[in-house]
Amino acid sequence: MARRAFSSPAANIVVSTDGYFDVYPPTARTGGDRPAYRGGIAELGAGIRGTDDRLTVRPDSAALAAAVEAWSAVHGASAVRGEMGKGRGGHVA
């Protein structure tokens, strides 16, 4: 499993090759911080998720960066505020 972090003005997003991504507030994180939202790779758009629900593009790809940026622009702030539900373990942090 590999993880890749992306930062935007709305949120910090950490994508896992195992098929999910975590959304954190756009502030510096400390150890043990729980994500405000955990999403599935499919939410990032077509071509990002494979048939096995895992990431199909390389973690350092421009396609993944663009997909995360687009998702964050639309959903990042509401995910951080807890308006989208499901934090880690299905609970809002």
| Residue that the structure tokens 């502030």 belong to | 27
Sort 12 into a burial class: Cβ within 10 Å, 0-12 / 13-18 / 19+.
buried
Q: How many domains does the chain have?
A: 1
Question: What is the pLDDT averaged over residues 4-27?
Answer: 91
pLDDT over 90 percentage in the chain: 46
Instruction: Give 46-60 pLDDT, tens digit per residue.
Output: 888 877 778 888 888
Instruction: Give the DSSP per-residue string, 25-57.
Output: -SSPP-TTPPPSEEEEGGGG-TTTB-TTSSB-S
Helix (H, G, I), strand (E, B) or coil at 12: strand
User: The tokens 């950490």 sit on which residue?
Assistant: 14
Range of the domain at 48: 3-27+34-90
Q: Is the pTM of this model over 0.75?
A: yes
